[in-house]
Amino acid sequence: MLKDKTGVILGVANKRSISWHIAKAADRAGARLVLTYQNERLLRGITELAGQLEREPILVPCDVTDEGQMDALFEIVSAESGHLDFLVHGLAFSKREELVGPFYDTTLENWQIAMQISSYSLSALTRRAAPLMEGRSGSILSLSYIGGERVIPHYNVMGVCKAALESSVRYLAADLGPHGHRVNAISAGPIKTLAAAGVKGFSQMLDVVAERSALKRNLDGGEVGDAALFFLSDLSRAVTGEVLFVDCGYHAMGL
């Protein structure tokens, strides 16, 4: 499905990362990948993961709070491939201590960094990726969560960031549509990831979803990876501005 396509995937931190499941699915589908890592501390882990893929990916440092590193990322993609077919934005961040108390205790400092990494970075990366997608029907995919639409205990500022992210998906879809590119998001159910560990009461969230979702179970990361293939491939060539729930049907239930 992705043979001869080149993609950049941001957000791989460890084997439980949703971005890693998407990377594995894209690799199986034939894509050539560029994986980013935030800092040297994470390089060893991502190098070990990269060795599990069928095709050796290009590893590039990219801290999205650094404009120069984002520029360098796409300069490397241009030099190595000359084009780009898809971009996966799997980034989110908030200080853990601000996901404990009430939302109104969010500090300005954390609000700004959470918004920059979790939401604004999608626009910043899209601005740099779009020129490399010219003439190739590019696809941009981000990762959201139901906390952007509904109140989830202790999700706090991250819920507001996800709401901004989903709105950004729609505006970016309108911007890039005339160029033939698509922008979508997957709203995945709760999965045991490094980021999720920072949300107080996460294990209880898993129990609730398993009990109340339509499929009466929790989500597997590989299922998000498979859903992502639809958006990254030509199968979704007429779909843009969409936020797709991949959560075992939890979002559809009233009680």
Q: Does 204 reside within a domain?
A: yes
Asked if pLDDT for residue 121 goes beyond 90, the answer is: yes
Q: Does 92 reside within a domain?
A: yes
Contact 232, 86 (CB under 8 A): yes
Tens-digit pLDDT profile for residues 51-75 = 999 999 999 999 999 999 999 999 9
Packing angle between helix 121-129 and helix 67-80, nearest 10 degrees? Answer: 30
Q: Does 69 reside within a domain?
A: yes
Q: Which one, of 124, 133, 128, lies nearest residue 168 by Cα? A: 124
| Rounded CA separation 131/121 (Å) | 17
**What's the number of domains the chain is made of?**
1
| Rounded CA separation 33/52 (Å) | 13
Reported residue count of the chain is 255
Catalytic annotation on 104? no
> Which conformational region is residue 72 in: left (phi greater than 0), alpha (psi within -120 to 50 degrees), or beta?
alpha
Q: Does 21 reside within a domain?
A: yes
Catalytic annotation on 37? no
Catalytic residue among 37, 120, 145, 250: 145
CATH number at residue 82: 3.40.50.720
Catalytic residue among 37, 104, 120, 155: 155
Label the pairing between strands 86-89 and 139-144.
parallel
SS3 205: helix
Q: Does 85 reside within a domain?
A: yes
Q: Does 128 reside within a domain?
A: yes
| Rounded CA separation 198/188 (Å) | 17
| Rounded CA separation 233/112 (Å) | 34
Report the pLDDT value the prediction gives residue 197, as an integer from 0 to 100.
Answer: 61
Asked if pLDDT for residue 45 goes beyond 70, the answer is: yes
Q: Does 1 reside within a domain?
A: no
Report the pLDDT value the prediction gives residue 183, as an integer from 0 to 100.
Answer: 98
Report the pLDDT value the prediction gives residue 196, as an integer from 0 to 100.
Answer: 62
Domain housing 201: 6-252
Residues 6+ apart with CB under 8 A from 32: 5, 6, 7, 55, 57, 81
Tens-digit pLDDT profile for residues 142-164 = 999 999 999 999 999 999 999 99
Report the pLDDT value the prediction gives residue 194, as an integer from 0 to 100.
Answer: 62
